[in-house]
Amino acid sequence: MQRKEFAKLVLEHQAQLRMFVRMLGAMPDAVDDLAQDAFVVAYERIDTLDDMENAGPWLRSIARNLVRNELRKSSRRRRVVNASLSEAMLAMSNEPVTGPWSEDWFTALRACVDRLPGHGRALVNGRYTRGQNATQLANETEMTPVAVRQALSRLRGLLRNCVESRLAEASP
């Protein structure tokens, strides 16, 4: 796989991989590190990926193993919020991916985010792709943190309705 192809893979999957790592119980400040570690492992083992269509599940399995390893480590710096919660989420993550973690769901979400007006898309990307908090976003957008949180709440509602609509249209 060429470097450009791998960069495209990273761009396509980074947001959902970060969400997955966070869902497994990683501390918020460790999510980026663990996701980056997953992409490093993926790059080193790219020859084991049979089909690019399976890149999402393959990357999630790498991230799952990294979080599992993090639980086993005994270090001063904990990168997992709650070990028992993480263990439960790890056990559930071995089940087939359906609902809000399916590839169809992420495809619909990407399409819905792309349809947002520029300002809304910037807020959503700032919060969920770059991990910025309301205060940081407020400084960038000349809004108050309260206004940012309200806007994000409305945008999440719009995205939820859009994704549900797209999935309903796609299902037989």
DSSP H/E element including 12: helix 3-23
pLDDT value of residue 32? 87
**How many Å apart are CA 145 and CA 133, to the nearest integer?**
9
31-64 pLDDT, tens digit each: 889 999 999 999 988 888 877 778 888 898 899 8
**How many Å apart are CA 116 and CA 94, to the nearest integer?**
33
**How many Å apart are CA 131 and CA 107, to the nearest integer?**
20
CA angle, residues 5, 127, 59, in degrees to nearest 5 = 35
The burial class, CB within 10 Å (0-12 / 13-18 / 19+), for 86 is buried
**How many Å apart are CA 120 and CA 126, to the nearest integer?**
10
158-172 pLDDT, tens digit each: 988 898 898 888 776
pLDDT value of residue 139? 93
78-112 pLDDT, tens digit each: 555 455 455 555 555 554 444 555 667 777 888 89
Q: Tell me the whole-structure pTM to 2 decimals.
A: 0.50
Kindly list the distances between the CA atom of residue 110 and the CA atoms of 7, 82, 100, 144, 162, in Å, as whole numbers in the listed order: 18, 30, 13, 27, 10
- According to CATH, the topology of domain 103-170 is Arc Repressor Mutant, subunit A (1.10.10)
- Sequence spans of domains, the chain: 3-96, 103-170
**How many Å apart are CA 149 and CA 143, to the nearest integer?**
10
pLDDT value of residue 138? 93
3-35 pLDDT, tens digit each: 778 888 888 898 889 888 887 777 777 888 999
Q: How confident is the model at residue 77 (pLDDT cuts 50, 70, 90)?
A: very low
pLDDT value of residue 75? 45
**How many Å apart are CA 26 and CA 78, to the nearest integer?**
9
pLDDT value of residue 38? 93
- According to CATH, the topology of domain 3-96 is Rna Polymerase Sigma Factor; Chain: A (1.10.1740)
Q: If you average pLDDT over every residue of the chain, what do you get?
A: 79
Residue 169's Cβ-side half-sphere holds a number of Cα atoms within 13 Å equal to 8
